[in-house]
Amino acid sequence: MTTLVIVESPTKARTIRNYLPSDYQVEASMGHIRDLPQSASEIPEAVKGEKWAQLGVNVEADFEPIYVVPKDKKKVVKQLKDALKNAEELVLATDEDREGESISWHLLQVLKPKIPCKRMVFHEITQEAIRDALQNCRDIDDQLVHAQETRRILDRLVGYTLSPLLWKKIAWGLSAGRVQSVSVRLLVHRERQRRAFRQGSYWDLKALLDQDNTPFESKLVTLAGTKIATGSDFDANTGQIIEGRTVRLLNEAEARDLQARLTDKTWTVTDLDERPITRKPAPPFTTSTLQQEANRKLSLSARDTMRTAQNLYEQGYITYMRTDSVHLSAQAIAAARSCVEQMYGQQYLSPKPRQYSTKSKAAQEAHEAIRPAGNTFRTPRDTGLSGRELQLYELIWKRTVASQMADSRQTHITVDLEVEDAGFRSTGKRIDFPGYLRAYVEGSDDPDAALEDQEVVLPALAVGDHPECKELEAVGHETQPPGRYTEASLVKTLESEGIGRPSTYASIIGTIIDRGYAQMQKKTLIPTFTAFAVTSLLEKHFPDLVDTSFTAKMEQTLDEISTGEAEWLPYLEKFYRGDNGLETQVREREDQIDPNEARSIELENLDVKVRIGKFGPYIEAENGDGSITASIPQDLTPSELDAEQVGVILKQKTQGPEKLGLHPETGEPIYLLIGSYGPYVQLGEVSEENKKPKRMSLPKGVNLEDVTLDMALGLLALPRTLGVHPATGGKVQAGLGRFGPYVVHNQGKEGKDYRSLKKDDDVLTISMDRALEILSQPKKSKGGSRSKSKTPLKELGEHPEDKEPVNVYEGPYGTYVKHGKTNAGLPEDLSVEEITLEKALELLAAKKSSSRSKKSKSSKSSKSSKSSKSRKSTTK
């Protein structure tokens, strides 16, 4: 007989198995084995007729959840039950947070073991941690389970009550959520600020000075005793100086006159201030700060960060990655301090061990920060990791080690100078002792910001010195609109406002993008017109649900329920069924919401209407006695839609597309058009004989007014052949695809080898030599490592037929399994952690079957077409 241990994933099972005695059997539950119904087909027959059935929660009987085992989990449940038959003890070893506690409780409810059952928890997968956990098992924490269940029910009530309303009033497939809708509103609010923004302009002077052959810069700060206006003095809504500010605003003419007046005048140092600054290292990572830094430094999305961290945890490289705590255990502090001594020396070690306290009142997840696992920390180069996993581990390692390093000591220097009635200022920074900066410098949301360890050197100066002015320049500036949210800054805002749990931010941001509420461009989240429409509806009719303070208070109540400070049932009753509860609000206000109004978006300074239609956003404008409509290109954001853009879009609709000229060989007209995917050129007109004329999108960065006939001809000729590859004899071409301009080498049976063009390369003029140079460079994967072949996210094993590997990869269209030349995408509800070789084989078999079916239909269609043509020819 054995002891059966159940964890969530196969990877975790394999790692833990190495640290347990031989009579322990470790199996994976593949995440949750049951949940609330996800579709109508999963609702039990016994309750299908109930009006609350679609919620999956019996709101009439103390909000009793209706749990079901999904079809794809029934096989897992059977396997676990079979394993249980041969066991004499059951150990539930799921993660130690609320979600993990809930999974263990559901396993207990479904498996109904008749043998002793224990709950084992640990925050790192090392031999010592696992053996220690075995000696300190406990019972399932019902309070944690209840807290998670209440949160799940509340989220279901919000989502499943409001989402159908959005389908009716705006568009099918939209969704609302307790945290999701607030997050979308934050994005929309920032975009509204950008739209309302009015640019201000100001001028100042910048001088290049020299003292003892050491050059340094200085900026104008006062004139005749009055402060010179800078960007912070402007009102973003008016573009004017904020009322009440006493500043001098220089225009270009005044700045240049001052420049001329001060040229060749004597400069004098009037004041010098040196201020010592001590900087302490940041605390070790929590879930939120890890997501922020990985986004800033590694360009990883929150979803990719959590997926990679999960892999590192399950393989035993780091501690549990869902945590609000910055606390480090004594063994972790000792391991970090040992690394500091060995790699940087005693002088870089903090005099005393540093311990950090968690500021968040609601911190309740794992009890230690994210750090390298074990009593000793493996250096990144000793792990054998590569790609994205190596990058993230190195980030965690550096942050943890730096937390036990000495302070950084710096001196900030300010020098004031005068030339006639103008006051200038120079600032410098001297690093007296780098301390923790030797190991780690915290990232910034501003990619142009100087790093904290970058010195600005000033010469030795004293009051009364007269440095020589080498150059004096008048510089113009324009104020900038508020920056859009990045994933990092959105996560930071959500956490600071107390909205949601950090462990859910990755899935929330992913949902916002997947549901079409935001687009990701240059690492920023840009809300769509749909996001504007949904936010406006919720703000007008359900203001509390998108109010940050209301949502934060709701989060606080949920945490109080988990500690027993608040009662869950009265809270749910009031929230959902009370006089002003959600159910009542939806019932009373549904008839008040006009779909035409809900689908309309009000954008100031526009005379046209913007609406959400079946095929996306469009413009509706009056045209004589009637109105005309025109689609808005997908890459055009709400803040960028102005009167000029509207004019261009409507001109095509009213006057027809712009004709650039005729094709020199065919005589066909070439048009410049704007479609839902942006501007493009088209050869010929759409007709019965020519239903799909050749089209080619404009390369990114090319403006409509810059498109010439020659450029259009070049684009329509793509892909263009550059020559023959000297090594293979294969064709080399340049083209423009979904992901931008590229060069491709046709290697015959080996397939096609693609490379994206660099920023300075032009797809219309790139030479064969340059193409060969680009093709010779190894491909760069998303994780930053260069390799001709992709590194799999997960290796599943060998295919039983040909023993070839079956692996999981990340591609441009999502996660997929690969065997040979067959790729099959993972269903949305199946994570990388849950995919098994058996499931992968099913997906691959289904894909092959589908491909054969399509080929068969195509073949039959072709034969039918030929037969039809034959019959026609014989009847003539």
pLDDT score of 861 more than 70? no
How far apart CA 835 and CA 796 sit, in angstroms, is: 8
Region 830-841: what's the mean pLDDT? Answer: 76
Contact in structure between 42 and 34 (CB atoms under 8 Å): no
In 512-552, DSSP assigns E strands to 518-521, 524-527
Per-residue pLDDT band at 850 (split at 50, 70, 90): low
Nearest to 510 by CA among 525, 530, 495, 532: 525
Kindly state the percentage of the chain with pLDDT values over 90.
Answer: 59
Average pLDDT, the chain: 87
Contact in structure between 30 and 78 (CB atoms under 8 Å): no
What pLDDT score does 454 carry? 67
Any idea which residue has 């064969």 for tokens? 768
pLDDT score of 403 more than 90? yes
Per-residue pLDDT band at 789 (split at 50, 70, 90): very low
Nearest to 63 by CA among 561, 585, 615: 561
pLDDT score of 175 more than 50? yes
How far apart CA 659 and CA 676 sit, in angstroms, is: 19
How far apart CA 368 and CA 333 sit, in angstroms, is: 12
Peptide bond into 719 cis (omega under 30): yes
pLDDT score of 446 more than 60? no
Q: Which of 186-200, 429-443, 447-461 is predicted least confidently?
A: 447-461
How far apart CA 48 and CA 42 sit, in angstroms, is: 10
**How far is Cα of residue 697 from the mean position of the Cα atoms in its chain?**
27
What pLDDT score does 652 carry? 78
What pLDDT score does 7 carry? 95
Q: Which residues contact 21 (CB under 8 A, 6 or more apart)?
A: none
pLDDT score of 843 more than 90? no
87-92 and 2-7 strand pairing? parallel
Contact in structure between 166 and 181 (CB atoms under 8 Å): no
Q: Residues, the chain, total? A: 876
Burial 399-437 (b: 16+ CB within 10 A, else e): bbbbbbbbbbebeebebbbbbeebbbebebbeeeebbbb
How far apart CA 675 and CA 663 sit, in angstroms, is: 22
Lateral strand order in the sheet of 117-119: 24-28, 2-7, 87-92, 117-119
| H or E element at residue 415 | strand 408-419
* CA–CA distances in Å: residue 279 to residues 349, 411, 413, 453: 14, 11, 16, 11
- Between 100 and 788, the more confident residue is 100
Tens of pLDDT along 591-617? Answer: 999 999 999 998 877 888 899 988 889
820, HSE (Cβ side, Cα atoms, 13 Å): 12
Helix (H, G, I), strand (E, B) or coil at 739: coil
Active site residues: 320
Nearest to 404 by CA among 368, 338, 353: 353
pLDDT score of 677 more than 50? yes
Nearest to 172 by CA among 828, 637, 615, 539: 615
pLDDT score of 575 more than 90? yes
**How far is Cα of residue 787 from the mean position of the Cα atoms in its chain?**
24
Per-residue pLDDT band at 361 (split at 50, 70, 90): low
524-527 and 600-601 strand pairing? unpaired
- Between 655 and 616, the more confident residue is 616
Triad 69, 74, 80: Cα angle to 5°: 110
Q: Which residues contact 136 (CB under 8 A, 6 or more apart)?
A: none
How far apart CA 492 and CA 811 sit, in angstroms, is: 28
- Written as one string, the DSSP assignment of 624-660 is TTEEEEEEPPTT--TTT--HHHHHHHHHHHHH-PEEE
- Written as one string, the DSSP assignment of 57-95 is EETTTTTEE--B--HHHHHHHHHHHHHHHTEEEEEE---
Q: Which of 17-21, 517-521, 819-823, 862-866 is predicted least confidently?
A: 862-866
What pLDDT score does 215 carry? 95
Contact in structure between 673 and 682 (CB atoms under 8 Å): yes
771, HSE (Cβ side, Cα atoms, 13 Å): 27
Per-residue pLDDT band at 47 (split at 50, 70, 90): very high
What pLDDT score does 592 carry? 93
How far apart CA 469 and CA 329 sit, in angstroms, is: 57
Region 547-551: what's the mean pLDDT? Answer: 93
Kindly state the percentage of the chain with pLDDT values over 70.
Answer: 92
What pLDDT score does 363 carry? 52
How far apart CA 350 and CA 347 sit, in angstroms, is: 8
Per-residue pLDDT band at 440 (split at 50, 70, 90): confident
What pLDDT score does 786 carry? 40
What pLDDT score does 690 carry? 82
